[in-house]
């Protein structure tokens, strides 16, 4: 299977924005402005066929054609009307541009299949990996590239991280990006590939599989163009890193909607699901699950087993979490060893009943949490820690959050926090997640995320 080189697209040393405009409402203007605001450090060129001599746009010199640029361009971002895209792409090919992103819509998604086929033919002719059309393109916070034509005041950009997000849909992609920026994990790369005329999900998975900056791959799919090749790469990629997938088009109505959206051949969902399960994909059913799973995989180490300890400052929350764990069938509450029970009995107040789940009582402060975590984490009967921190209680405050963060940084076991509440709780959630501690707001979310973590590493370590 031939592998396309996407490195110049995601780590370009030179970028040309074709269709750059002085009109702030135009896509080409927003993309150019995004590159400037992101602090892109490579060579940046603005291309507009109507440019006047010595014209500048946002401080960037404007040229009339890409052929006027003297250095070889790594990435051309094309934002011109669909009918002239093939002409522009041909000019890029002749100028030996290495890669291209076509953000323009108006191709197979509206029935213009011949126009899209022409675009793909040109990309193949010049061996020029071309993303799109009808897409948002790419973003890489490390290399400071940003082809998204959505201004930063509408769409927050996530911090640098280890999760790469691939989306066939630009709208879904931008929504999830916005949500990621409010979560504790950061972004490695974002790739929106739209109609996939040339570069498709197989090429993207091949690239991200070998990308050292990507620990977790998250995908929103509407259809798969090359089923056989997808299976080939699926066998390899999930043995290296987790792939979390949300597949749209589960119903006949959804399949029809997917085709009109990105011209995707959505296919039978059961067939896709069977492939995903066979090759260890982590399947999510909605956007919230996608984020929950991405969070746990981006921060937590592989669990050595399925035995869980629950430490809480609220008895009811501990019971609800126990129910969620038990409902998973695969995860179980571990039994504390005799040494752990003895040590906890000596250090905990008399009102604390030493058992799992361990209810530290409503007055538990950071010292009580720290002592309990230190003892329980060393217990060989415990593989995973769930800490419930209800910040409405008298003893829970910023010192408690700091103690959990400190413990997490020195612990080698998977650990997740359940914390439910409004503004005061949210402040501490941000504090913990910004330090790499995953926080959830429901027992079901934390249980399902830990279950997926366990299932994936069982698959990865399986000897076929």
pLDDT, tens digit (0-9, with 9 covering 90-100), for 40-79 = 999 999 999 999 988 999 999 999 999 999 999 999 999 9
Q: Is the pLDDT of residue 463 over 90?
A: no
Q: 455 preceded by cis ω (within 30°)?
A: no
- Give the tens place of pLDDT for each residue, 242-282: 999 999 977 555 555 544 444 444 467 888 999 999 999 99
User: Last residue of a domain, which of 299, 333, 357?
Assistant: 299
Q: 133 preceded by cis ω (within 30°)?
A: yes
Q: What is the pLDDT of residue 259?
A: 45
175, 78: one domain: no
**pTM attached to this predicted model:** 0.93
436, 330: one domain: yes
Helix (H, G, I), strand (E, B) or coil at 341: helix
Domains: count for the chain: 3
CATH of the domain at 242: 3.40.50.261
286, 306: one domain: no
Q: What is the pLDDT of residue 302?
A: 96
431, 453: one domain: yes
Look at residue 199 and tell me if it is in a domain: yes
3, 123: one domain: yes
- Give the tens place of pLDDT for each residue, 317-361: 999 999 999 999 899 999 999 999 999 999 999 999 999 999 999
Domain range for 217 is: 155-299
Task: Please choose, from the candidates 69, 72, 70, 75, the residue with its C-alpha nearest in 3D space to the C-alpha of residue 47.
Answer: 69
Task: Please choose, from the candidates 99, 97, 101, 141, the residue with its C-alpha nearest in 3D space to the C-alpha of residue 19.
Answer: 101
Eight-class DSSP state of 292: H
Q: How far apart are the first and last CA of the chain?
A: 23
**What average pLDDT does the segment 228-252 reach?**
90
CA–CA separation, 82 vs 66, rounded Å?
A: 18
CA–CA separation, 207 vs 222, rounded Å?
A: 20
Q: What is the pLDDT of residue 91?
A: 98
User: Taken in order 217, 222, 226, 230, is the CA torsion positive or negative?
Assistant: positive
174, 89: one domain: no
411, 339: one domain: yes
- Give the tens place of pLDDT for each residue, 3-30: 899 999 999 999 999 999 999 999 999 9
Q: What is the pLDDT of residue 257?
A: 54
């Amino acid at each position: 299977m031939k592998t396309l080189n996407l490195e110049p697209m995601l780590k370009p040393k030179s970028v040309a924005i074709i269709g750059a405009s002085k009109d702030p409402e135009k896509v080409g203007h927003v993309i150019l402005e995004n590159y400037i605001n992101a602090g892109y450090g490579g060579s940046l060129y603005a291309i507009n066929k109507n440019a006047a001599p010595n014209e500048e746009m946002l401080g960037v010199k404007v040229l009339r054609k890409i052929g006027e640029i003297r250095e070889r361009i790594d990435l051309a971002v094309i934002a011109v009307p669909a009918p002239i895209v093939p002409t522009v792409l041909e000019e890029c090919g002749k100028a030996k541009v290495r890669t291209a992103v076509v953000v323009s819509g108006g191709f197979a998604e509206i029935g213009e299949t011949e126009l899209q086929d022409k675009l793909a033919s040109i990309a193949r002719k010049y061996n020029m990996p071309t993303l799109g059309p009808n897409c948002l393109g790419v973003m890489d916070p490390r290399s400071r590239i940003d082809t998204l034509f959505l201004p930063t005041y509408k769409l927050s950009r996530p911090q640098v991280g280890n999760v790469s997000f691939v989306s066939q849909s630009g709208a879904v992609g931008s929504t999830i990006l916005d949500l990621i920026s409010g979560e504790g994990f950061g972004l490695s790369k974002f790739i929106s590939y739209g109609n996939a005329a040339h570069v498709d999900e197989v090429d993207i998975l091949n690239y991200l599989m070998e990308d050292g900056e990507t620990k977790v791959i998250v995908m929103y799919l509407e259809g798969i163009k090359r089923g056989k090749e997808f299976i080939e790469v699926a066998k390899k990629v999930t043995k290296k890193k987790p792939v979390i997938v949300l597949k749209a088009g589960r119903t006949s109505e959804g399949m029809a909607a997917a085709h009109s959206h990105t011209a995707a051949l959505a296919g039978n969902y059961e067939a896709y699901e069977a492939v995903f399960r066979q090759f260890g994909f982590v399947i999510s059913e909605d956007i919230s699950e996608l984020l929950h799973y991405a969070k746990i995989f981006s921060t937590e180490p592989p669990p050595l087993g399925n035995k869980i300890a629950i430490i809480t400052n609220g008895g009811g929350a501990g019971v609800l979490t126990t129910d969620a764990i038990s409902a998973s069938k695969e995860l179980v509450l571990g039994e504390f060893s005799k040494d752990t029970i003895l040590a906890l009995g000596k250090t905990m107040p008399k009102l604390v009943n030493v058992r799992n789940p361990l209810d530290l009582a409503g007055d538990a402060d950071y010292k009580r949490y720290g002592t309990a975590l230190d003892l329980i984490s060393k217990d060989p009967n415990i593989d995973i820690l769930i800490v419930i921190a209800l910040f409405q209680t008298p003893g829970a405050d910023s010192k408690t959050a700091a103690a959990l963060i400190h413990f997490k940084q020195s612990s080698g076991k998977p650990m997740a926090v359940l914390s439910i509440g409004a503004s005061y709780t949210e402040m501490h959630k941000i504090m913990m997640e910004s330090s790499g501690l995953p926080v959830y707001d429901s027992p079901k979310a934390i249980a399902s995320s830990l279950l997926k973590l366990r299932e994936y590493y069982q698959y990865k370590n399986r000897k076929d």
